[in-house]
Amino acid sequence: QQQVKQSPQSLIVQKGGISIINCAYENTAFDYFPWYQQFPGKGPALLIAIRPDVSEKKEGRFTISFNKSAKQFSLHIMDSQPGDSATYFCAASEDLQYNTDKLIFGTGTRLQVFP
C-alpha cells in the first residue's frame, strides 16, 4: 500500500514532442504529490508538485494531471528539449511527526530527448 508505481521505465522523445510519465498509488492518506528531476551525478530537484484538491497544475512547459478517484497522476512535458533529458521521479507523501513529510518515490523514468 506504500508503493508508488511509475511508468514507463524509459522514454525517448523527439525535440518539440510531448513527454508523458504516469504514476499510480494505493494509499489514500497520501496528500502531496511532487515530481523530482535528477541529472546524472546530481541529487533530485523538485520540479513541480500538486495537492489532491486540484486536478491540474501547470508551470511553464510542465503540467501535472491528477485523478483522485483513479489514484493516478501524470507529468506532461510540452515542447520537450534535449536539456530535459534526465531521470524523473514521481513521489507521494504522507505526514510524519512534527508536520514534516515522508516521500515515497516511484521507480523513475529515464527521459531522452533527441534533437
Partner 1 sequence: DAMVIQNPRYQVTQFGKPVTLSCSQTLNHNVMYWYQQKSSQAPKLLFHYYDKDFNNEADTPDNFQSRRPNTSFCFLDIRSPGLGDAAMYLCATSRGGLGLAATDTQYFGPGTRLTVL
Residues binding partner 1 (CB under 8 A): 32, 34, 36, 41-46, 49, 51, 89, 95-103, 105-108, 110
Alpha carbon distances (Å) from 74 to 6, 9, 71, 98: 9, 14, 11, 29
| Beta strand 62-67 pairing with 10-14 | unpaired
Q: Which is nearer to partner 1, 14 or 53 (CB)?
A: 53
Closest approach of partner 1 to the CB of residue 79, in Å: 26
Q: Which is nearer to partner 1, 59 or 95 (CB)?
A: 95
Distance, in Å, from the CA atom of 48 to the CA atom of 40, rounded to the nearest integer, reads: 19
Q: Which triple of cell numbers denotes residue 16?
A: 518539440
Closest approach of partner 1 to the CB of residue 57, in Å: 12
Q: Which is nearer to partner 1, 46 or 78 (CB)?
A: 46
Closest approach of partner 1 to the CB of residue 64, in Å: 13
Closest approach of partner 1 to the CB of residue 6, in Å: 8
Q: Which is nearer to partner 1, 60 or 98 (CB)?
A: 98
Distance, in Å, from the CA atom of 83 to the CA atom of 28, rounded to the nearest integer, reads: 35
CB 108 within 8 A of CB 6: yes
Rounded to the nearest 5 degrees, what angle is found at the Cα of 55, between the Cα atoms of 53 and 60? Answer: 115
